[in-house]
Structure 1
Amino acid sequence: MDMTDAEFDELIAQLPRRVHDVYAPFVASTPDAPAFVEAGRVWTYRQFSDAVDAAARDLAALAIRPGDRVMVASENSVALGAMLFAAGTLDAWAIPVNPRLSGRELDQIAAHSGARRVMFNAALSKEAADHATRVGAQLRAIGPFGGIGVGPLNDATQAEPVTDGNERQVAALMYTSGTTGAPKGVMLSHRNLLVAARVSGLMRRTAPGDRIYGVLPMSHIVGYSILLISTLMHGAALHVVAKADPAALARAIAEEGITTIFGVPATYQRLLEYKSVNGIARLKRGSLRLMGVAGAPLDLSLKQRIEDEFGIPLLNAYGITECSPGLTGVREADPVSDESVGPLLPGIAYRIVDRDGKAVGTGEVGELHVRGANVMLGYYRAPDQTAAGIDRDGWFNTGDLARVNARGHFYIVGRTKEMIIRSGFNVYPAEIEAVLNSHRDVVQSAVVGRPVEGNEEIVAFVQLLLGASIDAEALAAYAANQLTPYKRPSELVVLDTLPAASTGKILKHKLRDLAIASARTGSTAAVG
């Protein structure tokens, strides 16, 4: 799916004014069609629209004003979707957050955002209930949803200005930790989210009758934009899943009419693990027609195994929270056999530059900068960070290292900040991870750099399959046979699990801290 500039301009012109307007055409034309399926219950488009309206009335009664920030801590649910849309109907900024964050992390986001109220979906998870108790939230109903903890009113916070169009009005404030662990509030306008959701749905051919498996958290950009908004924008139904469970996913594919899955590599890895551990000969494909993946480097062995399992291609894509998120994607009509994340999506311009800001040649690695209608307004209350990320001409520095081939297909090599310089050589963690992940006993791996005097060394963390017999030394030897000496890990550490966000994205800043701490204490043995 590609567009001319004129076609893309027409797409922009036809976008609704606000995010919550996306489902209105289906409320009018097919009100009884399913919008959500949650724990066996079907919510029609009319029922969901009524729920959003009722929730908006309750938020207004709780003194939520236009320009206020409303924070909602909840697992994936219809209630979360309704409260996010309800905030938008009041021209408040929605802040979806994961209730599995610590109290410190949640309080940090609430303070930085100046949230007028913090809501906790206490009825759905113990984590949210515990947070509600911790802050003294009062349990009540918001619209038709009971058990919502409503935090105290922050009457000192100031409302932000409201604009009429969709281009400058903030719809969502998405907090992302990036590579450092320090949260940043990404201001996404209604237009940012609308254009990303529209393009995503067109690329995936989402339509009424589709059922999308909603496992990625709505508290992260893919779950919010690509699953929640895009699904309703195209008249499909979202199969809402509060927590990832490979057994439930396999059952939903086989028996519940799932047509589309969008996950991270770990989503598919755990599905294959479930099959293996339970001695299942072959997973049933059911109505599944499309599988998408993003959020982390894709191991080619995993790609091949999941494609063999279901008989359809696994389509790799690339995006970033600051871009709402989609930037590139492998097309369904033009699948690939390698780790390409595909060509650019419509409406996006790019440049790849070296450290001096000069354009690199085709096939050469450089830092990826992009420009388009999906690029954020900026970082909230951080003008210096915004200026560092977006230049005066609108180019956003993704911080990712990439290359593009002659066909226009992109390859993400790694993060600029994650690149390791060892003895003067550039080392890209993704390459080493791909080698480690190719071993049959490896579930996933993550490679980080550790500073040493006058140099950097490579530390690899690996999670093995349950019952695997290989040890760190043997795995290091396996990798050494496929890597030039300066790319070989100085230390290889086997962990029961790798620290990960709720999306499955590995938290490398935590591993980097562990690597540095282990060098100080000598708590792990060096291998290499």
Structure 2
Amino acid sequence: MTDQSQSVAVPDLRRIHDLLDQARPDRRLLRDADGRAWTYGQMADLSRQMAARLQAHGIRAGDRVMILSENCATYLAAVMAVSRLDAWALLVNARLTAAEVDRLAQVAGIRSAIFTPEVSPASADHAERLGAVSLGALDCGDLRVLPIRDAVAEPVEDGPDQTAVLIYTTGTVGEPKGVMLTHRNLLFMSDVARQLRRITVDDVTLAVLPGTHIFGLTSVILGALAQQSQLVMMPRFDAQLVLDQLARGVTILPAVPQIFAALMKHLNAQGQAPCTDSLRYIYAGGAPLDPGLKQRVEKLFGLVLHNGYGQTEASPGIAVTRMDAPRSDSSVGVAVPGTELTIHQPDENGVGELWTRGPHVMKGYYGNPAATAQTVMADGFLRTGDLARQDPDGAVHLVGRLKELIVRSGFNVYPPEVEAVLTDHPAVTICGVVGRAVPGDEEVTAFVTTHAPVTEDELRDWARARMAPYKVPSRILIAEALPQAATGKILKSKLLDHFRSQLEEKETH
């Protein structure tokens, strides 16, 4: 077990909007996608105005309010406005499909939703489809929301253990699990991010990771607010725009490994070198970091590429590399300060399931006490479902997963969800979906048998129309039969080896 002696003194705050209210009002907070600058005082006022309109609309304490958005000032104001009302912010990426959005709205029992059409065409489309109404103009734009729905408000806790955000770990089918994260969880992790990155009031962090993802919310956005530093909001990743922002004074760049790979590809294609005069800290998380990519990024940027590991249920930080102890390997570092971790029941090679405990662990899964009991132990340890080993110095190395979860470009993909969509196609008989390791990432790979003519492209188009892009399989192999047990269950562990020659043969063409 690792019990970090370094502790984190969580600020004496009750709600996440206190991060705004305690700041110097004239200090710059963010630069939005349209170039407008916002101070902490202006954002605090905007969130109060939005909260007043939401309350008049019918939002109550304990209600779930979907924020269907991409990164912008309206997103941050909405999160803080919902906090002021003691409601729960259901964070949803606007790029999800209609079916996925509708499913989450249903299982969460939302009271209303807030949209960000001024920066997100996808959010605007959802608003139009769902019949959004206007609550009038604010400084950030027209406040578009859903008409009030019947919903049961949850009980409110006066202290920081009140639920702040709800983030679901699956989408259209099966049983989605809504992770309840409290104000204490988020405030703790924002202070961890502030300390580990040694953020100062002069730092400028590029918020290119979605704020609807826990990595973007706490490690990036709230981490900057905890030190009253600045953010640059970017609704969607664009390699040239990221490089332009680096040249304009960004000092901290957190991203998934695939973003760093895309930046390098763009620079190589353009024959450019990045302007890193102000950049001082770069960090990769949300997906496996390939050692080769780490070395190439470090050579190009002239900085150590730090690494970390977490999951939504841990707000998300579990382990991270330290600035004063840079690593040359792909270790995810040591336990987050103020937390502990253990390798549960390690085998002869020291490999076991990674468990973590501390103020970062979720309150539970919304409306699913059975799943909560299976994941959070009676002594407070969170079972991550990931296999790892630990060096004598505490450094953690991830080995694999107990679960089938695929992490693609930093986004979670659940095979049963993809399988359900593909097997719904009229020509498909059975389907198995697994993750396939590629340099720095995982591919979603599907294997199907069919009973009518269909092509791989047709199946991919079918999936693309029904799922978010990152869930669509990179490869769909159509086979005569799949390896199965006597019961008919597909032997997923054998799929990649069984079809290795076909997979490799197509890659050579």
> What TM-score, normalized by structure 1, do the two folds share?
0.78
Which residue in 1 is equivalent to 2:107? 112
Name whichever of 48-57 and 121-130 sits farther off.
121-130
Are 1:239 and 2:232 an aligned pair?
yes
Indicate which of 398, 407, 410 corresponds to 2:384: 398
1:446 aligns with 2:443: yes
1: CA distance between counterparts of 2:189 and 2:91?
A: 18
Match of 2:59 among 48, 57, 64: 64
The partner residue of 1:317 within 304, 308, 325 is 308
2:491 maps to which residue? none
Residues 398-434 of structure 1 show CA distances to partners (whole Å, capped at 9, x for unaligned) of 11111111111001122212499xxxxxxxx99x83x
Judged with a 3 Å threshold, the aligned counterparts in structure 2 of structure 1 residues 189 and 340 are, in CA distance, closer, same or farther, namely same
**1:17-37 CA deviation, whole Å, 9 max, x = no partner?**
11110122223xxx2221001
For residues 229 and 332 of structure 1, the distance between their equivalents in structure 2, rounded to whole angstroms, comes to: 20
What is the aligned partner in structure 1 of residue 212 from structure 2? 219
Alpha-carbon distance change, 330 to 4 in structure 1, aligned in 2, over 3 angstroms: closer
- What is aligned with 1:279? 271
Shift of 1:129: 1.4
Which residue, 289, 293, 296 being the options, matches 2:287?
296
Q: CA deviation at 1:122?
A: 2.0
Deviation string for 1:50-100 (max 9, x for gaps)? 111111111111111111111111110010000111100110001121111
Q: Distance in 1 between matches of 2:446 and 2:370?
A: 27
Structure 1 pair 444–222 and aligned structure 2 pair: CA distance change class (3 A): closer
| Alignment equivalent of 1:228, drawn from 216, 221, 232 | 221
Matched AA of 2:367: R
* Structure 1 residues 281-323: Cα deviation after superposition (integer angstroms, max 9, x where no partner): x221120000000011111111111101111100001110000
| Percent of matched pairs sharing the same residue | 37
Offset, 1:503: 12
CA distance in 2, matches of 1:170, 1:332: 32
**Which residues of 2 match residues 348-427 of structure 1 at below 5 A?**
348-353=339-344, 358-360=345-347, 364-418=350-404
Q: Distance in 2 between matches of 1:133 and 1:343?
A: 46
From 35, 39, 51, the counterpart of 2:29: 35
Q: Assess if the C-alpha contact under 8 Å between 1:212 and 1:260 holds in 2.
A: yes
Find the counterpart in structure 1 of residue 253 from structure 2.
261
- 5+ residue gaps, structure 2, are 407-433, 450-459, 483-498
Q: Give the count of matched residue pairs.
A: 447
For 1:366 and 1:5, the matched residues in 2 are separated by 23
Aligned to 1:474: none
Letter in 2 for 1:342: G
Which residue is equivalent to 1:425?
Answer: none
Note if contact 1:55-1:144 (Cα within 8 Å) is conserved in structure 2.
no
1:59, 1:142 within 8 Å by CA — same for their partners in 2? no
Q: Distance in 1 between matches of 2:381 and 2:4?
A: 21
Higher relative contact order (CA 8 A, sep 6+): 2
Matches within 5 A, 1:438-517: 446=443, 507=471, 510-511=472-473, 515=476
Kindly indicate whether the alpha-carbon contact (under 8 Å) linking 1:264 and 1:503 is maintained by their aligned counterparts in 2.
Answer: no
State the 1:114 CA deviation.
0.9
- How many Å separate the matches in 2 of 1:374 and 1:419? 21
- Report deviation, 1:145: 2.8
- AA in 2 matched with 1:138: V
Q: Equivalent residue of 1:104, what SS?
A: helix
Residue type matched to 1:253 in 2? Answer: L
Report the residue type matching 1:35 in the other structure.
L
Higher deviation after alignment, 195-204 or 119-128? 119-128
Residue from 192, 199, 209 that aligns with 2:202: 209
Structure 1: gaps (5+ residues): 421-428, 438-442, 453-494
* Deviation of the 1:451 alpha carbon: 11
Shift of 1:450: 7.0
Maintained 8 Å contact 2:446/2:477: no
Deviations 1:420-474 (A, max 9, x none): 9xxxxxxxx99x83xx52xxxxx8553769799xxxxxxxxxxxxxxxxxxxxxx
Deviation at 1:6, TM superposition (A): 8.3
Aligned residues: CA RMSD: 3.1
Q: Give the Cα–Cα distance (whole angstroms) in 2 for the partners of residues 91 and 381 of structure 1.
A: 19
Post-superposition shift, 1:148? 3.3
Query: Which SS does the other structure have where 1:219 is aligned?
Result: coil
Which of 21, 25, 40 pairs up with 1:24?
21
